[in-house]
Chains A and B, each alone.
Chain A
Amino acid sequence: MWSLFARDIRLSIRAGGGALTGVIFFLAVIATIPFGVGPDLKLLARIGPAILWIGALLACLLGLDRLFQADREDGSLDLLVLGNDRQMLALTVLVKCLAHWAGSVLPLVIAAPLLGLFMNMEPVAIGATALTLLVGTPAITFIGAAGAAVAVALPRGGLLISVLVLPLTIPVLIFGVSASYGATADPDPFLQPFLILAALTLFLAVLGPVSAALALRHGTD
């Protein structure tokens, strides 16, 4: 299993991998917001956490379609499915998700504090947003894996995956953003939405790979 993780990380770093695509997209989205909203620093600081979360969410969705499609195109997916008796397919999917997260989503989380400065956010708000992104983005990858598995056989599946996955990620977005706000706005709680966010991630870490494995199992042709 470690070898699969190492292989996917290596692929995401090497030429043609998508490690940087997401970060550049994230940067582009966040950098254009201040121009669109105008130089109202208070307003920027207020919408900052939400914009960071939305940008990260969209950047996450960007690379998801390649999660299984690349393996399908070169025939690796058949062999991963056939390995089910030795390496449970759901576990294989989980490892692929973790590698995808570490390879293409973790850079977003690392870039988020820097982009928070663009939004004139306070240090506490930046820290809280980065923390919620760190805890919440794996959930997006896990949901996305199920979508990617369903759409793996479609030649232009990327859009379909986004449409399938986006509604399911709304709870993650809501709790992520409200926990980020909770850290700065005084009456709002931080811990409760943050714990629900963590619970969502853990829950989806099971549900996502299992349903993705089911879809892949029946999707071979």
Chain B
Amino acid sequence: MRLIAENLGGERGGETVFSGLGFALEDGQALVVTGPNGSGKSTLLRIIAGLLPKAEGQLRIEGGGDDFPSIAAACHYLGHQNAMKPALSVAENLRFWRDFNGGGDSSVEDALETVGLAGIGHLPFGYLSTGQRRRAAIAKLLVSPRPLWLLDEPTAGLDKASEERFAGLMTRHCAGGGMIVAATHLPLGLEGAKELRMGQAS
């Protein structure tokens, strides 16, 4: 599977944020997007996911087959918000996203254990700390399989140990043939990842 962007341009409220951007990702590759605030990292991720219209250029996924005909179908989008309901328990939240996204029979408990939250699945999501919430949101990536992960500041709020655990998760995802596009300020600990430096905000 290949994710290809050519001459991509994005705008926010009529102002061009970036233009002429291109990259190609193959199975098992990761792209780390860096740059100062306002350089368009989040905009780029949202354009890739299809949540924002692109101003110019081409964006396509090749070799997705019937399962993943479009980028939206092939991707997990982890934005700034965790997309979990505070009133529901962590396990209920995860079970919902697994059923909605079509995760088959992957186990919610296993996913929670992988992110180091074993045993707190019964707690309401609203009771968790910021870092725990982020880890629960990361567990959401694990309960339904998608080849492409779009991560916007994925490690915001995580402690050192969780960051390392998450780096391991990402490495495993890539080793399994997955692709990652991550926007970040902090080093993610991804070995051999391509880097895309976004320009200065104008």
Contacts and interface: CB of A to CB of B under 8 A. Distances in A.
Interface of A: 2-4, 6-7, 10-11, 14-17, 73-76, 78-87, 220-221
Given A2-B99, A74-B85, A74-B86, 4 more contacts: A4-B100, A10-B87, A79-B77, A82-B50
B24 interface: no
Contacts of A76: 83-85
A200 to B, nearest CB: 30
A92 to B, nearest CB: 9
A84 B72 contact: yes
A123 B86 CA distance: 43
A86 B73 contact: yes
Given A10-B92, A14-B87, A74-B81, A82 B100 contact: no
A80 B92 CA distance: 17
A78 B51 CA distance: 7
Interface of B: 46, 49-52, 69-70, 72-73, 75, 77, 79-88, 92, 95-97, 99-102
B52 A85 contact: no
Contacts of B52: 220-221
Contact of B99 (A3, A17, A74, A221): A3
21 contacts: A3-B96, A6-B96, A7-B92, A10-B87, A11-B87, A11-B88, A17-B87, A74-B81, A74-B85, A74-B86, A75-B80, A79-B97, A79-B101, A82-B49, A82-B75, A83-B101, A85-B70, A85-B72, A86-B73, A220-B46, A220-B52
A203 to B, nearest CB: 28
Contacts of A221: 51-52
A10 B102 contact: no
B40 to A, nearest CB: 14
A86 B85 contact: no
Query: At the interface, is chain A mostly helix, strand, loop or mixed?
Result: helix
A217 B55 CA distance: 17
A37 B140 CA distance: 56
A76 B94 CA distance: 12
Contacts of A2: 99
Closest 7 CB pairs of A and B: A75-B81, A3-B99, A85-B73, A75-B83, A14-B87, A220-B51, A76-B83
Nearest to B72: A82
Contact of B77 (A7, A15, A74, A78): A78
Given A82-B77, A86-B73, A86-B102, A7 B51 contact: no
Contacts of B101: 79, 83, 86
Contacts of B80: 75
Most buried by B among A4, A6, A17, A76: A76
Nearest to B51: A220
Contacts of B92: 7, 10
A73 B81 CA distance: 8
Contact of B79 (A10, A11, A14, A75): A75
